[in-house]
Amino acid sequence: MKYSVVIPLYNKEKYIARALSSVLSQTCQNFEILVVDDGSTDHSFERASQIDSEKIKMIRQENQGAATARNTGIACASGDYIAFLDADDAWREDYLETMDHLTETYSESDIYVTAYAIHMNKGKVRYSGRLSPETGCLDSYWLTFQYPYDFVWTSATVIQREAIQNAGGFKPGEKIGQDLDLWARVARENPKVAYSSKVCVDYHRMAEENARTRVKIAYAGAFISDLEEELLHQKHTKEECDMIQKKYDLKMTAYIFTCILAGEKQRAAGAFQSWKGKTTSKTKLLRAGLRISMYTPQFLNRWIYSVRLRVF
């Protein structure tokens, strides 16, 4: 068994059949599927169980969050590589075949990714970063922060199981950013990222019951801490440090602005005080805008945030 496909499942009854069908229709069939139902309160488990395939293993647990659900799947996996898929996303039929080419060609890497399509509101579609040449192996995970969408993104990522285990797996309790936290810890040991620019995954960003709808405050605490630690490392090049700072500033901006939206202005003020790293002209503008938003009517802040979600 080469690939173990781990699918955490929580209240995705409308989408899980599509996700499973997309895996079962792969041109590369060397895989098993581990669906971990994380205490769904709808008919997600029943919908998944209705799909008849010896490749699917169903696991149930009390609700503990996506990080723990993924860890459960990894613990039960028999494949050498872990492929992640969220229950509301879908693979195109050549996804694992493309990954097979990457793993065979770039064995020096532990992280393998493809490009993906982001399905936005009202039928709009965006795309993750697509590089030239079409396939390759980047020396630095940290430099992937320069792209507008996460270059290493959960449903379009395969990682060597041993590398995940050595990194300690996903951190339980993290509501958002638990995937980014794991990638960062894997990259500390091996920063290489093998990629394909072929679009092999469909990310349905506007699906119901995702982290964007469930979590009011966008606090990716573990990942923010990772970035703060990386900013202190002397081993990084200046370009890497600049990219890490950029990513950190964006995560802090999202954290503080969603604190303000949630009416947690004291928490927002505390985040301002804890902001680490260099103060550039761009971060000065970001901070100034955030301070203005603390005194802006909530309806206007919410409108700005809704526009942001539709556009990016």
pLDDT at residue 295, as a whole number:
86
* 14 and 97 co-located in one domain: yes
Q: How confident is the model at residue 213 (pLDDT cuts 50, 70, 90)?
A: low
Number of C-alpha atoms within 13 angstroms, CB side, residue 207? 23
Mean pLDDT, the chain, integer = 93
Q: How confident is the model at residue 300 (pLDDT cuts 50, 70, 90)?
A: confident
Q: Are 63 and 37 in contact (CB under 8 A)?
A: no
250-278 pLDDT per residue, tens: 999 999 999 999 999 999 999 999 999 98
Q: Are 254 and 180 in contact (CB under 8 A)?
A: no
Q: Which residues share a beta bridge with 31?
A: 3
Helix, strand, coil shares of the chain as percentages rounded to 5? 45, 20, 35
- Does residue 284 register a pLDDT over 80? yes
- Among 18-32, 39-53, 78-92, 206-220, the minimum mean pLDDT is found in 206-220
- Does residue 46 register a pLDDT over 60? yes
Please report, for residues 100, 214, 231, the alpha-carbon distance to residue 54 in angstroms, rounded to integers and kept in the order given: 22, 33, 47
pLDDT at residue 15, as a whole number:
97
Q: How confident is the model at residue 52 (pLDDT cuts 50, 70, 90)?
A: very high
DSSP H or E segment with residue 190: none
- Does residue 210 register a pLDDT over 60? no
Ranges of beta strands (E only) in 175-248 are 193-204
C-alpha torsion angle, residues 238, 241, 245, 251 (rounded to 10): 150
Q: Any residues with CB less than 8 A from the CB of 74 and at least 6 apart, and which? A: 4, 6, 82, 161, 164, 165, 169
- Among 7-21, 30-44, 68-82, 253-267, the minimum mean pLDDT is found in 253-267
* 229 and 197 co-located in one domain: no
* 120 and 185 co-located in one domain: yes
Closest by CA to 243, choosing from 197, 277, 274, 290, is 277
- Among 120-134, 206-220, 287-301, the minimum mean pLDDT is found in 206-220
Q: Which domain holds residue 234?
A: 216-311
Question: In the predicted model, what is the mean pLDDT of residues 214-227?
Answer: 91
Q: Which of 153, 174, 209 is the last residue of a domain?
A: 209
Helix 221-232 crosses helix 238-261 at what angle (to 10 degrees)?
150
- Does residue 309 register a pLDDT over 70? no
* 100 and 196 co-located in one domain: yes
* 98 and 195 co-located in one domain: yes
Q: Which residues share a beta bridge with 112?
A: 158, 194
Ranges of beta strands (E only) in the chain are 3-9, 31-38, 56-61, 81-84, 90-91, 111-119, 125-127, 135-138, 157-160, 193-204
* 237 and 131 co-located in one domain: no
Q: Are 64 and 40 in contact (CB under 8 A)?
A: no
In the chain, % of residues over pLDDT 90: 83
* 146 and 288 co-located in one domain: no
> For the range 283-286, what are the long-range contacts, defined as Cβ-Cβ under 8 Å and sequence gap of 24 or more?
283/249, 286/249, 286/253
pLDDT at residue 32, as a whole number:
98
| CATH code, domain with 170 | 3.90.550.10
* 172 and 240 co-located in one domain: no
Q: Which of 184, 209, 234 is the last residue of a domain?
A: 209
233-249 pLDDT per residue, tens: 889 999 999 999 999 99
Q: Are 183 and 133 in contact (CB under 8 A)?
A: no
125-145 pLDDT per residue, tens: 999 999 999 999 999 999 999
Q: Could you give the number of structural domains in the chain?
A: 2
Let me know how long the chain is.
312
* 205 and 220 co-located in one domain: no
> Six-digit token pair at 90?
């879908």
| More confident of the two residues 163 and 122 | 163
* 198 and 246 co-located in one domain: no
- Does residue 214 register a pLDDT over 60? no
Q: Which of 149, 178, 209 is the last residue of a domain?
A: 209
* 21 and 112 co-located in one domain: yes
* 220 and 182 co-located in one domain: no
pLDDT at residue 218, as a whole number:
93
> Six-digit token pair at 233?
């490392």
